[in-house]
Amino acid sequence: MKNTIRIASRQSELAMWQSNHIASLIKQKYPSISVEVIGFKTQGDIILNQPLAEIGGKGLFIKELEQALLDGHADLAVHSMKDVPMDLPEPFKIAAIPLREDSSDAFVSTKFNSLDELPKQAIVGTSSLRRQSLLYHQKPDLQINSLRGNLQTRLKKLDDGFFDAIVLASAGLIRLGLSERIKERLNTSTYIPAVGQGALGIEILKDNKELSEFLNFLNDHPTEISVNTERIISRSLAGSCTVPIGAHAMVIKDTINLKAFVASPDGNKIIFAEDSGSINQNTLIAESVSKQLIKNGAKEVLGI
């Protein structure tokens, strides 16, 4: 292996934390190797006045990082797996998916201790159609407004009084040492997370076999199985941030349980499905859940 490994990262504090976390794991394993984290500003970070669904979707958070790999400016890129499109372009691969952090959604408020405490017409901020549909389904009297920007920007808008509450990924708050801001971790059985939520992905050029083997130690097999199972659901239903889809797989010993849903953005129509079995049958389980969703009208709900 080369003596220096360069990691491409988004420039947000959370993204840099994630990349530095991977850098520290590499340095712990291989003390003689130098690791450098290089920050890049992506289109997803620049365009903040429009919902992601309107400007191109999740891929806007990774294109500049992938270009850095192609140009030879970086050796690997660290992503949140929920930002990684279902189908990567041909030159790239996900070489490792490390141990997952908490995958739940977090209810954050300066006024209320739980989602159930919110009064009618309370203003809730979220950037996610998935969260919007689930919130409307459970509490149709809420007023849900778009909220984009990095984690600190969202928290500041809450603290400045623009929202009664906001919903974020628990993982980001935990990673930045802000778990005290979480008033309630929403139950993942009811508030099914985004595909890959809480997991990181290490992306490299597919033909770099030496680097792929080098990074094997970072991979957590149960997390890899869980995330890839969730991604089958999303892929089968043309999943992106333009449609409300969630999937959550949990591996316990040799068993995997998968729950998924699709919904209309207003939460009026929502379809849930679930299956479980051996982790060796994870693809069949994902296909079973997809078929349940489609049989019960998922494609009509999503308009695909």
**Cα 296 from chain centroid?**
26
The backbone torsions φ and ψ at residue 106, rounded to the nearest 5 degrees and listed phi first, read -115, 130
Cα 125 to Cα 132: distance, rounded to the nearest angstrom: 9
Over the range 80-89, which residues count as b (16 or more CB within 10 Å of their CB) and which as e? bbbbbbbebe
| Amino acid (1-letter code) at residue 289 | V
> Over the stretch 43-76, which tens digit does the pLDDT of each residue have?
655 555 555 555 445 556 788 899 999 999 999 9
How high is the pLDDT of residue 41? 78
Give 253's pLDDT tier (boundaries 50, 70, 90). Answer: very high
**CATH T-level topology, domain 4-99+199-219:** D-Maltodextrin-Binding Protein; domain 2 (3.40.190)
Question: If you average pLDDT over residues 3-15, what whole number do you get?
Answer: 94
Q: What angle do CA 178, 184, 190 make, to 5 degrees?
A: 130
In the predicted model, is pLDDT for residue 96 greater than 70?
Answer: yes
Residue 83 among the catalytic residues:
yes
How high is the pLDDT of residue 55? 46
How high is the pLDDT of residue 60? 63
User: Is the Cβ–Cβ distance between 35 and 23 less than 8 Å?
Assistant: yes
- How is the chain split into domains, by residue range? 4-99+199-219, 105-185, 233-302
Q: Do domains 4-99+199-219 and 105-185 have the same CATH topology?
A: yes
Q: Which CATH number among 2.130.10.10, 3.10.129.10, 1.10.167.10, 3.30.160.40 corresponds to the domain 233-302?
A: 3.30.160.40
In the predicted model, is pLDDT for residue 240 greater than 80?
Answer: no
Cα 54 to Cα 148: distance, rounded to the nearest angstrom: 13
Q: Is the dihedral of CA 12, 18, 24, 26 positive or negative?
A: negative
> Over the stretch 132-185, which tens digit does the pLDDT of each residue have?
999 999 999 999 999 988 899 999 999 999 999 999 999 999 999 999 999 999
Q: Which CATH superfamily is domain 105-185 in?
A: Periplasmic binding protein-like II (3.40.190.10)
Question: If you average pLDDT over residues 252-270, what whole number do you get?
Answer: 94
Instruction: Spot the catalytic one: 45, 71, 75, 83.
Output: 83
